[in-house]
Amino acid sequence: MHERRHAAFATLRAMITTNDLAGELTGRRILLGLTGGVAAFKAAEFCRLLTQAGATVQVVMTEAACQFITPVTMQALSGRPVYTSQWDARADNNMAHINLSREADAIVVAPASADFIAQLAQGRADELLALLCLARPLAAAPLLVAPAMNREMWAHPATQRNLRQIAADGAHVLPVGHGEQACGETGNGRMLEAGELLEELIAFLSPKPLLGQHVLVTAGPTFEAIDPVRGITNRSSGKMGFAIARAAREAGADVTLIAGPVTLPTPRGVLRVDVGSALDMHASTMAEAQTATIFIATAAVADWRPAHAAGQKIKKDGSGQPPSLAFVENPDILAEIARSPRARSGDLYCVGFAAESEDLLANAQAKRARKGVPLLAANLGPATFGRNDNALLLVDAQGVTELPRASKRALARQLVAEIARRLPRAEA
Ligand code: C5P
């Protein structure tokens, strides 16, 4: 019996995808609460992602939750015995609700049923999970609620009233997804996917040095058409810019990401504008720069474009002579924005990037002066293109700061913190 169970657990673990967020929640203690809902299956994967991200996970399930998924599964995935009853006598003081709520850095209820949300709204304590939510120290143990229900239950005025009430009482209500539901209907009320829950939790727990800022990021290459099937472009995966957009959002900013042709997923909560050519990127970026407070130019913009893009595919004519192409220079988006009155007056803080192949420091200092930006982040092109890690040299008026090789995700966070430290302070 024991061996069968062991094999089943191994299969379950293998089925659940690994994530790239290893270590993001190291040292965090997360209490994961499950209530009755079909979305409980997503909580199994969420639990696995949490442990992979380094969190210690304590699962608490309501009686209804146990109808949908077993505590055995959740114990295997969290590596800790699951609590299901307020009468659990395991704790020496026999006060599971007090101990559990004091041992958590955050409580996440996923799925949160309509009934459970109603219990929270009323401050009820019928079951261990509702009881420990009521008993939690409000400042030390934030409560995140991931609703999951049928679209009519979601839209019902009572549910919406209860959600407003629990938000007013200090809960952080996560958004719901839209789509096909287990009941066969289509609409709002689906619980977020496991990966989305993890992103929301990491963002929630991140420091917020950019609260109130509007960050504008350009990322990826541009594509300059020669004819309908050919063009010239730059080597850029967009990974650094996307990581910066995500880190800025986690730091509390409103983020707009102007993306050249890349195939990366949009970070949660980020407004993405897809563009093709440098002229498209220029137009979209200039428009957004009117309201942005920070501009970070990571895009590898093509310096030149063909003077005339042919309307039809250019054919070989048999003469052996290649076609001659004339080029015109593209606008320098960063330099233009850095010269704008808002940037000059300090309302818009500009950060440039430089991909060099040698002499990083000297080239970075020269580029910072040429572009007229307060901060320039330099990297070695061949050591960053397409990779998941990188190293940066930050150059500003004060000198040089080295950010040693790390994942682009970690570097993006460090860069965001460095930018936040350099922002002109608002008058008190
Ligand atoms: O001149 P160079 O291309 O090396 O400068 C790199 C920096 O300038 C990057 O921040 C890049 O996003 C920005 N840039 C731009 N518009 C261009 C060329 C570069 O915004 N046309």
Residue 173 has pLDDT above 70, yes or no: yes
- pLDDT of 20: 59
Same domain? 249 vs 351: yes
Tell me, in angstroms, the distance from the centre of ligand 1 to residue 333's CA.
7
Domain span at 49: 22-205
Residue 97 has pLDDT above 90, yes or no: no
Residue 344 has pLDDT above 90, yes or no: yes
**Predicted confidence band of residue 23 (pLDDT cuts 50, 70, 90):** confident
Residue 415 lies in a domain: yes
Residue 319 lies in a domain: no
How far apart CA 216 and CA 334 sit, in angstroms, is: 11
Same domain? 49 vs 143: yes
Which residues, 6 or more positions from 157, have their beta carbon under 8 angstroms from its beta carbon? none
Nearest ligand 1 atom to the CA of 353 is: 10
Pocket-testing residue among 332, 339, 365, 379, ligand 1, by greatest number of atoms within 8 A of Cβ: 332
The answer to whether the bond into 306 is cis (omega within 30° of 0) is no
**Domain end position, chosen among 205, 237, 257:** 205
Same domain? 196 vs 225: no
Partners of residue 233 on adjacent β-strands: 223
What are the C-alpha distances in Å from 420 to residues 96, 247, 351?
A: 41, 12, 12
Q: Is the CB of 394 under 6 A from ligand 1?
A: no
Residue 315 lies in a domain: no
How far apart CA 153 and CA 176 sit, in angstroms, is: 13
Buried b vs exposed e over 74-98: b needs ≥16 C-beta within 10 Å? bebbbeeebbbebebeeeeeeebbb
**Predicted confidence band of residue 175 (pLDDT cuts 50, 70, 90):** very high
Pocket-testing residue among 235, 240, 301, ligand 1, by greatest number of atoms within 8 A of Cβ: 301
**What distance, in Å, lies between the first and last C-alpha atoms of the chain?**
67
Contacts by 400-407, CB closer than 8 A, 24 or more apart: 400/361
Q: What is the pLDDT of residues 72-91, one digit of tens each?
A: 999 999 999 999 999 988 88
Residue nearest atom 9 in ligand 1 by C-alpha distance? 353
Same domain? 190 vs 257: no
**Predicted confidence band of residue 15 (pLDDT cuts 50, 70, 90):** very low
Residue 313 lies in a domain: no
Contact indicator for 294, 255 with CB cutoff of 8 Å: no
Q: What is the pLDDT of residues 350-381, one digit of tens each?
A: 999 998 888 999 999 999 999 999 999 999 87
Nearest ligand 1 atom to the CA of 298 is: 12
**Domain end position, chosen among 205, 234, 268:** 205
Contact indicator for 215, 296 with CB cutoff of 8 Å: yes
- pLDDT of 260: 98
How far apart CA 246 and CA 127 sit, in angstroms, is: 37
Q: Is the CB of 217 under 6 A from ligand 1?
A: no
**Predicted confidence band of residue 9 (pLDDT cuts 50, 70, 90):** low
- pLDDT of 18: 39
- pLDDT of 89: 86
How far apart CA 14 and CA 403 sit, in angstroms, is: 35
- Burial of residue 315 (number of CB atoms within 10 Å: 0-12, 13-18, 19+): exposed
Tell me, in angstroms, the distance from the centre of ligand 1 to residue 209's CA.
26
Q: How many C-beta atoms lie closer than 10 Å to residue 152's C-beta?
A: 13
What average pLDDT is seen over the chain? 93
Q: Is the CB of 46 under 6 A from ligand 1?
A: no
Contact indicator for 68, 38 with CB cutoff of 8 Å: yes
Same domain? 90 vs 198: yes
What are the C-alpha distances in Å from 330 to residues 248, 253, 279, 308?
A: 28, 30, 7, 13
Same domain? 276 vs 382: yes
> For 47, which DSSP code?
H
Residue 3 has pLDDT above 60, yes or no: no
Q: Is the CB of 334 under 6 A from ligand 1?
A: yes
Q: What is the pLDDT of residues 133-157, one digit of tens each?
A: 999 999 999 999 999 999 999 999 9
What are the C-alpha distances in Å from 247 to residues 97, 144, 266, 393?
A: 35, 20, 12, 18
**Predicted confidence band of residue 158 (pLDDT cuts 50, 70, 90):** very high
Q: What is the pLDDT of residues 179-193, one digit of tens each?
A: 998 889 899 999 999
Q: CATH number for the domain including 246? A: 3.40.50.10300
Q: Report the percent of the chain where pLDDT is more than 90.
A: 82
Q: Is the CB of 218 under 6 A from ligand 1?
A: yes
Residue 6 lies in a domain: no
Q: Is the CB of 384 under 6 A from ligand 1?
A: no
Residue 44 lies in a domain: yes
Lowest mean pLDDT among 7-11, 305-309, 323-327, 416-420: 7-11
Same domain? 255 vs 352: yes
Q: What is the pLDDT of residues 282-293, one digit of tens each?
A: 999 999 999 999
Give yes or no: 183 in active site: yes
Same domain? 166 vs 107: yes
Same domain? 403 vs 257: yes
Same domain? 245 vs 189: no
Contact indicator for 237, 316 with CB cutoff of 8 Å: no
Q: CATH number for the domain including 29? A: 3.40.50.1950
Same domain? 132 vs 253: no
**Predicted confidence band of residue 14 (pLDDT cuts 50, 70, 90):** very low
- pLDDT of 357: 82
Phi, psi at residue 189, to the nearest 5°?
Answer: 125, -5
Nearest ligand 1 atom to the CA of 285 is: 20
Nearest ligand 1 atom to the CA of 278 is: 21
Lowest mean pLDDT among 89-103, 129-143, 158-172, 179-193: 89-103
Partners of residue 145 on adjacent β-strands: 109, 173
**Domain end position, chosen among 186, 205, 224:** 205
DSSP string, 341-375: HHHHTTSSEEEEEEEESS-HHHHHHHHHHHHT-SE
> H-helix or E-strand containing 32?
strand 29-34
Pocket-testing residue among 277, 296, 334, 384, ligand 1, by greatest number of atoms within 8 A of Cβ: 334
Nearest ligand 1 atom to the CA of 354 is: 6
Residue 7 lies in a domain: no
How far apart CA 32 and CA 194 sit, in angstroms, is: 12
Tell me, in angstroms, the distance from the centre of ligand 1 to residue 89's CA.
64
Q: What is the pLDDT of residues 408-423, one digit of tens each?
A: 999 999 999 999 999 9
* pTM of structure: 0.89
Number of domains in the chain: 2
Same domain? 143 vs 283: no
Q: Is the CB of 353 under 6 A from ligand 1?
A: yes
Residue 15 lies in a domain: no
